[in-house]
Structure 1
Amino acid sequence: MAFLPAEGAAEGADAGAVETEAPGVLAFRLLGPVSATREGAPVPLSGTKIHTVLAVLLLARGALVADSRLSAALWGDAPPPTSNAQIYTYVSRLRKTLGNRVEIFRKGPGYVLDVRAAEVDLFSFERLDRLGRRALEEGRHEEAGRLLGGALDCWSGHALENVTEHLLQFERPRLEFLRAQALERRIEADLSLGRHRSLVPELLSLVARFPMDENLRAHLITALHRSDRQAEAVQVYGEGRRILDEQLGVVPGRRLSTAYLRMLRGEGPGLPPRRPPVLLPARAAAFTGRTAEAARLRSLLLSRPSDPAARLRAALVTGMPGSGKTALAAEVAHGCAEAFPDGVVHAELHDADGAARPPGAVLGDILAALGEAGSAERTTDRNGLTTRHGLNELVGRYRARTADARLLVVLDDASSDVQLTGLLPAGPDSALLVTSRGRPACVPAVHTVGLGPLGDEDAAALLAETVGAERTGAEPGAVRDLVRHCAGLPLALRIAAARLAARPHRTIARFADRLADPRTRLAALSYGRLDLARTLGRALTRLSPATAALVPWLAAVGPGPFTARLAGELTGLTEAQAEHALEELVDGSLLLAEPDGHLGEGRYRFHSLVLLYADTTPRRELPR
């Protein structure tokens, strides 16, 4: 098997040379059964759990792996009471088995595997694939074919064949998509070099294995056409159209249809496609936790729907203000971008002040990102207002543009179904990722991922990523206090971490003492453009005036749980009026709905920071 160095490989003129595994080097394999070899001889690793721990540590690429992440990969949502002790045992066995060629050390609430002196087939694959993609984009087809062929040679089966089903569900779809993309690029390079005749047998085999892959079928039609086998190409297209109709109820997409039409017209390959846009917010510098949630979102976006009638893959991320919805969506979308060859686009549905953006402005931005410049200008009047006729035109153009596309659309901070109606991609090959504080009805409930507070370990790890593990490790008690005062809210933790990082000579305990006082806590949780109180205040502006006015009065209920009857007694409202307001707060993720009490009454609870904000907000007279 061919490998490149895990770090520091040259990407210059000699980058196309594929290096072989050096003698004496410890090598790891993830693209097949998880395994290790030393000087070419297998290193004995026994048991699925050991292979899983090794795989998770390798996939982290030298970053901290929290205990909670290892637990999720080993046992899913049902870890045993002795999970931490078992993880320690597995890590100790790995240290003993792997020897001193690599180092596994404890760091904060997790472990780090240092593999700089080792070889990892996944890293070699990614490096060769990246170099091959660049060579293909620059027209160096011979080099591209060699590099991409070397990348595919790194595989020795299906990825992660001998790990737990939990880790398999998290990671395999992403890795297999990367493999499929590399294969398509290598075939594209070979076609550009005129190797169509030698490609036909391989493509016939691939299309037989993956009959609904339109890109492979389009390549086969092109190869047959150039080999003067037009009758077979027509048959391949007809078979593909029938399978897509019977299995999915859709017509062939743009790439397959274009290959077929070019064959009918006797045209050549045409110009290379425009590089697809990937327009997303930057990934969080210290994205920590949310392992299970990220895996669930990737599964929803990358998996074909089991119901042929389901026309759109969609996922929804919900949670209270500051729970990290946007950061999670950006992390997942960046990781899935390779699966959407027509691009990834992102749109903010509210402006910086919290006001909803006009649908026409959002559609104009998306269409412009997809290469249709001038969309917004032609549909707004001199006052900046979108006309009804203009909005209908934009919706029609958007649906036509996305009908045959393989596109990921990320819509951030939706507040209603009305905002989303005209923004749903029209084609079955596209996917939609929405973040919202509520639950829009256009996204099925089963496709919803709710974000609660971070656990203590993940919260401490988030602090350590920004502040530094050495500094947090020196004050574990102060870290625990700070985490408790931030109540697991990612925004509060990021603000606290930013303030601490800006004052490296001050103790964590000093800042934790400031957070301990409820009177100064909200003021302390503000840094630069990050302000917890302002974020919560903007959330109140989306409520009805009556409910927004009620929030400060509800602070008297305390941490809860409490009922609508108690809320009515404290505010002078009827129980029905109070319940209506409380349900609106639940829909806006400013209040948690608890399990019903023994009398069948609905029960509610405030997040501690929302309760603190309510308690410090001036009370206004309640409308009657």
Structure 2
Amino acid sequence: MDFRVLGPVEAHRGGLQIPLSGSKVHTVLAALLLAKGRVVSDSRLNFLLWGWEPPATSGAQIYTYMSRLRKLLGDEVRIERRPPGYLLQAPDSAVDLLEFERLDRLGRAALAQRRHQEAGALLAEALGHWRGTALANVTEHLADAELPQLEEARMHTLENRIEADLALGRHEQLTAELTGLVAQHPLREKLRAQLMTALYRSGRQSDALQSFYEGRGLLADQLGIDPGEALGATYAAVLKGTRGPGPGGATRPARQEPAGPVAPSTLPAFAGQLVGRDAEIRTLRTQLAESVAGRGPRHLLVTGMAGVGKTALAVHVAHAAAGDFPDGRLFAELSEANGRPRGPGGVLATLLRDLGEPLEESDTTPPDAAEQDGRRRCEDLVRLLRARTAGRQLLVVLDGAAEGRLLDPLLAGLQGVVVLITGRTRLTQVIGARTTALSPLGAPASLDLLAAITGRARLSAEPDATHELLGYCDGLPLALRIAGSRLLARPFWPVARLAQRMAAPENRLRELSYGGMDVGAALLPSLHALPSPARSALVRLAGMGAEPFPAHRAAGALGTTEATAEQWLEQLVDGALLDLCGVDLMGRPFYRFHELVLLFAAGLPAAPRTGPRSPAAR
């Protein structure tokens, strides 16, 4: 049995979720689990279920909830009546909170002993057990009583993980994460000190000082206090121009590593929360374990439309699987910032440098090299990478694959290594790979993601506006993150204000652009990768709407034959700009556009008709 409280309260048996209905049953189960083998008294249960005014029949209702839980959980779990209350015993079960606490203890011990690489991996794995806001489906009485200490424990773990990453010299990777965390927790001094450290070590001394001044002003205005010792020591260290403050405010070199060889890890930092992807996380963790054990293929794919969260999922799983890859975890981007694919030579060189190979610029293929010379140098890099990775238990994440043929030299150099690839297309050239296809989030997960950014109370205060806002984002994680970030940056805005701004379809994509995140810009590489006829078809199908449609209906809108229309539709499917959503009785496919893709297509310039005209048009 697998119990979870670090998110919605859930119980799982054999990988399948046990249906628990109602906040009261979830509350009773959570109270028993949080007691960690101690008796929960009747009076405590009364308060957690109904607050200070329990009904006259509270005892009978609690008995009913306990009986219901016994039936649902089966013989693996014993719920016993132990005056003055109830006791849950499940010796063979797993509880995510207990596993989080175990990993946190190990991580803190490693951090105290300056085993920073190990500490960072353990603490990241601990944070990986969080699936959003803890106790998300219990009564407000239980949430008010237990959630603050759980959130504080999570924040301490997060701060310790960041401390380990700073000690390993990952300040540039941490800057964006810390900027967001300080915006969410502006009075948390340790986070602000860590942000100042990361900024200073990234050559941004003025930004580090500005962060201090902002924090000092907030502490004075809201709490009437001066910065504490740690934040003050960080400020002094930045002013003096030292390499950066260490734990407790002492100065030390920017990079400290444990003695002996350190397994390389170039994964982007991850805060530990990934909402709505529990099934995909479990699938990928299982597949990685099977790959390591030699029971499955060594190539795994994560596909889906732009903005659906492929990279976030891959990075989350790679962090969580640290223990399976003692020789390191590498991350390489396969696309430039403009969406164009990187040449394989540059990616091979990046991976080799990450593995400690002292390559010079002349060792890699320059952009204007002759084709034969460039191919020869690429082959040399493949052989070198194969030699450096032979016999090593490595995980390599290749992010943003656009063309399967560009993967061939990379996979040739990574023979025997487990490779996790993300990309918009199906990448059928990667033979034998297991594919996890990501879809947009459902309504509950969309709400959880938005609430994780803005706070649930703010959304609960405006349920109608929140419902509209979720509908406009249509389950796309990137859109939800943008909307949540805009609300977080404007705490005085009602949710209804942003919903009203997004209500007009012609304004929606413009509103879904903030802080370097942009839904329209994310979709552009998918458009550019399409063949010209499919690109024209996308523009002309913008009026089809979000309802499913068959190929013959698209043929009428395009003025072409059904066979040609289906060919273009399949190209749109391969480019992750159109979904297959079923078949009719004859086995013919039905297609459906994501609403934001339709708005994106509607804003593109009209294209001339391609292909033969229909008889009616002649």
Q: TM-score range by the shorter chain?
A: 0.5 to 0.7
Which residue pairs with 1:274 in the alignment?
A: 261
Rate the CA distance shift 1:301–1:537 in 2: closer, same or farther, 3 A: same
Shift of 1:617: 2.1
Question: Could you tell me the percent identity over the aligned residues?
Answer: 38
* Conserved 8 A contact 1:364-1:375: no
Aligned length in residues: 423
Deviations 1:92-114 (A, max 9, x none): 555784469999899xxxxxx99
1:378-457 equivalent positions in 2, closer than 5 A = 378-381=363-366, 383=368, 387-424=374-411, 430-443=417-430, 447-457=434-444
* Conserved 8 A contact 1:301-1:314: no
With the length of structure 2 as denominator, give the TM-score of the two structures. 0.62
Rate the CA distance shift 1:98–1:371 in 2: closer, same or farther, 3 A: farther
1:324-403 equivalent positions in 2, closer than 5 A = 324-374=309-359, 376-381=361-366, 383=368, 387-403=374-390
1:15-414 equivalent positions in 2, closer than 5 A = 48=1, 52-53=2-3, 56-57=4-5, 60=6, 65-66=7-8, 70=10, 73=12, 76=15, 80=19, 82=21, 86-91=25-30, 93-94=32-33, 97-98=39-40, 120-132=101-113, 134=115, 273-283=260-270, 287-304=274-291, 313-374=298-359, 376-381=361-366, 383=368, 387-414=374-401
Rate the CA distance shift 1:404–1:558 in 2: closer, same or farther, 3 A: same
Q: d(CA) in 2 for partners of 1:80 and 1:444? A: 38
Shift of 1:537: 2.1
Which residue pairs with 1:14 in the alignment?
A: none
Which residue pairs with 1:564 in the alignment?
A: 551
Q: d(CA) in 2 for partners of 1:135 and 1:492? A: 35
Deviations 1:551-587 (A, max 9, x none): 1101222223111111111111221211111111111
Give 3-state SS (helix, strand or coil) of 1:303's partner.
Answer: helix
* Conserved 8 A contact 1:95-1:104: no
* Conserved 8 A contact 1:326-1:435: yes
Q: d(CA) in 1 for partners of 2:49 and 2:454? A: 19
Shift of 1:533: 1.1
Q: d(CA) in 2 for partners of 1:370 and 1:493? A: 36
The one-letter amino acid paired with 2:473 is C
* Conserved 8 A contact 1:104-1:114: no
Q: d(CA) in 2 for partners of 1:101 and 1:120? A: 24
Give 3-state SS (helix, strand or coil) of 1:595's partner.
Answer: strand
Q: d(CA) in 2 for partners of 1:314 and 1:133? A: 34
1:523 to 499, 504, 510: 510
Shift of 1:299: 1.5
The one-letter amino acid paired with 1:91 is A
1:501-580 equivalent positions in 2, closer than 5 A = 501-580=488-567
The one-letter amino acid paired with 1:616 is G
Give 3-state SS (helix, strand or coil) of 2:115's partner.
Answer: helix
* Conserved 8 A contact 1:294-1:328: yes
Give 3-state SS (helix, strand or coil) of 2:541's partner.
Answer: helix
Q: d(CA) in 1 for partners of 2:499 and 2:600? A: 18
Give 3-state SS (helix, strand or coil) of 2:368's partner.
Answer: coil
Shift of 1:130: 4.3
Give 3-state SS (helix, strand or coil) of 2:391's partner.
Answer: coil
* Conserved 8 A contact 2:298-2:433: no
Which residue pairs with 2:71 in the alignment?
A: none
Shift of 1:382: 7.2
Which residue pairs with 1:20 in the alignment?
A: none
Rate the CA distance shift 1:524–1:74 in 2: closer, same or farther, 3 A: farther
Deviates more, 1:282-291 or 1:522-531: 282-291
Shift of 1:395: 1.0
* Conserved 8 A contact 1:278-1:337: no
Shift of 1:303: 2.6
Shift of 1:292: 1.3
Rate the CA distance shift 1:488–1:406 in 2: closer, same or farther, 3 A: same
Q: d(CA) in 2 for partners of 1:445 and 1:83? A: 43
* Conserved 8 A contact 1:562-1:603: yes
Which residue pairs with 1:482 in the alignment?
A: 469
Rate the CA distance shift 1:577–1:475 in 2: closer, same or farther, 3 A: same
The one-letter amino acid paired with 2:26 is I
Q: d(CA) in 1 for partners of 2:317 and 2:567? A: 35
Rate the CA distance shift 1:79–1:565 in 2: closer, same or farther, 3 A: farther
Segments of 5+ residues of structure 1 without an aligned counterpart are 1-47, 107-112, 138-143, 145-150, 152-270
* Conserved 8 A contact 2:383-2:413: no
CA RMSD of aligned residues (A): 3.5
Which residue pairs with 1:233 in the alignment?
A: none
Give 3-state SS (helix, strand or coil) of 2:307's partner.
Answer: coil
* Conserved 8 A contact 2:502-2:508: yes
* Conserved 8 A contact 2:579-2:593: yes
Shift of 1:354: 1.1
The one-letter amino acid paired with 1:66 is P
Give 3-state SS (helix, strand or coil) of 1:338's partner.
Answer: helix
Q: d(CA) in 1 for partners of 2:367 and 2:525? A: 29
* Conserved 8 A contact 1:547-1:584: yes
Which residue pairs with 2:570 in the alignment?
A: 583
Give 3-state SS (helix, strand or coil) of 1:302's partner.
Answer: helix
Deviations 1:223-243 (A, max 9, x none): xxxxxxxxxxxxxxxxxxxxx
With the length of structure 1 as denominator, give the TM-score of the two structures. 0.61
Deviations 1:199-227 (A, max 9, x none): xxxxxxxxxxxxxxxxxxxxxxxxxxxxx
Rate the CA distance shift 1:292–1:133 in 2: closer, same or farther, 3 A: farther
Q: d(CA) in 1 for partners of 2:539 and 2:30? A: 50
Shift of 1:529: 1.2
Rate the CA distance shift 1:91–1:425 in 2: closer, same or farther, 3 A: farther
* Conserved 8 A contact 2:299-2:433: no
Give 3-state SS (helix, strand or coil) of 2:484's partner.
Answer: helix
The one-letter amino acid paired with 2:107 is E
Q: d(CA) in 2 for partners of 1:382 and 1:570? A: 43
Deviations 1:112-147 (A, max 9, x none): x9999x99544333333444572999xxxxxx9xxx
Shift of 1:80: 3.8
* Conserved 8 A contact 2:509-2:520: yes
* Conserved 8 A contact 1:365-1:376: no
Deviations 1:239-264 (A, max 9, x none): xxxxxxxxxxxxxxxxxxxxxxxxxx
Deviations 1:589-610 (A, max 9, x none): 1111122112332211111111
The one-letter amino acid paired with 2:352 is L
Rate the CA distance shift 1:593–1:136 in 2: closer, same or farther, 3 A: closer
Q: d(CA) in 2 for partners of 1:621 and 1:480? A: 39
* Conserved 8 A contact 1:315-1:443: no
Rate the CA distance shift 1:419–1:114 in 2: closer, same or farther, 3 A: closer
Shift of 1:541: 0.4
* Conserved 8 A contact 1:66-1:461: no
The one-letter amino acid paired with 1:348 is E
